Amino acid sequence: MRKLVRSLLPVCTLVPLLALAGCGGDSNAAASGQGRGGPGGAQGGGRGERRPPGEGLPSRDVRLVRAESASLPRSVAVTGTLAADEEAELGFKVAGRIGSIAVDLGQPVRRGQAIARLVPTDFELRVAQAQNALEQARARLGIPPNGPDRIVPPQETAVVRQAAATLRQAQLTRERMAKLFSEELIPQQDLDAADAALGVADGRYQEAVEEARTRQALLEQRRSELEIARRQLADSILTAPFDGRVRERRSAIGDYVAAGDTVAVLVRVHPLRLRLAVPEREAAGIRTGQPVRLTVEGDPGTHTGRVARISPSITEDNRTLMIEAEVPNQNGSLRPGAFTRAEIVVEAGAPAVLVPASAVVTFAGIDKVIGVEDGKAAEKRIRIGRRAGDRVEVVEGVEPGDQVIVDPGNLATGQPVQVVG
């Protein structure tokens, strides 16, 4: 055991010495390497520095154009909805069963055109009944069947003339009795009977006059009843109140409808109403009669109209001013309910700076143009406004006369350029 310990002792002593030697070698090597790598590292750091933008890129030929000062109409861009100028839910004024319907969905109609008809039998019978009652009232007043309707004075009626004759006879009788009584040829009793008969005759005359007036009033009532019956017969035909198109049909032949039930919905499609909500900040410039340009989804064309009505107050919920514009629609190409984008021209000619739309570059929501400075491309951030054909208004960032590159493509800032053309 002791021999084994003695043999291992030199080995254990040698291992730490070798480790120390290795560590010292590594430190020297590291130090030597650091000393050698110092200049090289500095050179490497020089190569890693950020180059100026566009440095090293090839030169490109570009074409310049000057920003122009022009006069453009100032407008307010809003969205809105087209609505029918008039819309009516058509229904009969009388109840009945539908006998025919002459229109259907989308069909154009003219004012006064028949939309639907009720079965007329009941209404024709009511007219005949009212006509017979009127003839009866005319006969009681002594008006000939074929004679014109007129107001008959009570004295011309048969019942009043008869009562008047009776009254006259009673008056004569009373006068004779009074004369005979004065001569003491008859008793007081006979004179009293003559007075009573005169009073009865006078009462019957007044009653006859009242009866004649009642018959005259009854005649007027029969005339009104006949007019009502004829009106109901006419109301059994439903007509269009204005020119338009059938938006909806809700009934069919054979349906029994009450008075006022909707049979069809009619809309006027020329002109249309364009309802727009203008922001409060732009409301001060809105005036009646200002032109409006609008586009409709699915229609590539541009339509025009004019501001016709302006609300007197601002809507508090969304701080907007509600206005309505009239849009002509003679050919019916526009439809009520369509979503529109509109521009209200609030100023006919406002100064503006214009550049070609092809000179504007948009990236990450930022608009910019590229000019030339010292033979290199230079970016300018801008804020664009209205469009005028193939040109764009620059509200901020470019002044009249500034030169910008047309169709810059992927031209980078600082890239060398050569102006041509």
Q: What is the pLDDT of residues 366-404, one digit of tens each?
A: 999 998 888 888 899 998 877 777 888 898 888 998 899
State the average pLDDT over residues 249-270: 94
Question: Which two tokens mark 49?
Answer: 């520095």
Contact (CB, 8 A) for 240 and 111? yes
Residue type at position 381: R
Tokens representing 125 are 């019978």
Average of pLDDT values for 405-410? 88
Instruction: Check: CB of residue 400 under 8 Å from CB of residue 67.
Output: yes
Residue 9 has pLDDT above 70, yes or no: no
Give the residue with greater pLDDT, 55 vs 318: 318
Query: What would the two tokens of residue 356 be?
Result: 């070609």
| pLDDT, tens digit (0-9, with 9 covering 90-100), for 197-249 | 999 999 999 999 999 999 999 999 999 999 999 999 999 999 999 999 999 99
For all residues of the chain together, what is the average pLDDT?
A: 84
- Per cent of the chain over pLDDT 70 is 86
Question: What is the C-alpha to C-alpha distance for residues 207 and 55, in angstroms, rounded to an integer?
Answer: 124
pLDDT score, position 51: 62
Task: Tell me if the bond preceding 271 is cis, omega within 30° of 0.
Answer: yes
- Rounded average pLDDT over 16-35: 38
Q: What is the pLDDT of residue 54?
A: 63
- How much is the pLDDT for 251? 93
Residue 25 has pLDDT above 50, yes or no: no
How sure is the predictor about 1, in pLDDT bands with cuts at 50, 70 and 90?
very low
pLDDT category at 28 given cuts 50, 70, 90 is: very low
Residue 127 clears pLDDT 50, i.e. is over it: yes
pLDDT score of 113 more than 80: yes
Tokens of 53: 């933008």
pLDDT of residue 347: 75
pLDDT in tens, 59-74: 888 899 999 888 777 7
**Residue found by looking up tokens 């193939």 in the block:** 390
- Model confidence at 349: pLDDT above 90: no
| Residue given tokens 């639907």 in the structure block | 116
Cα Rg, the chain, nearest whole Å = 53
Q: What is the mean pLDDT of residues 94-99?
A: 96
Whole-angstrom distance, CA of residue 334 vs CA of residue 245: 13
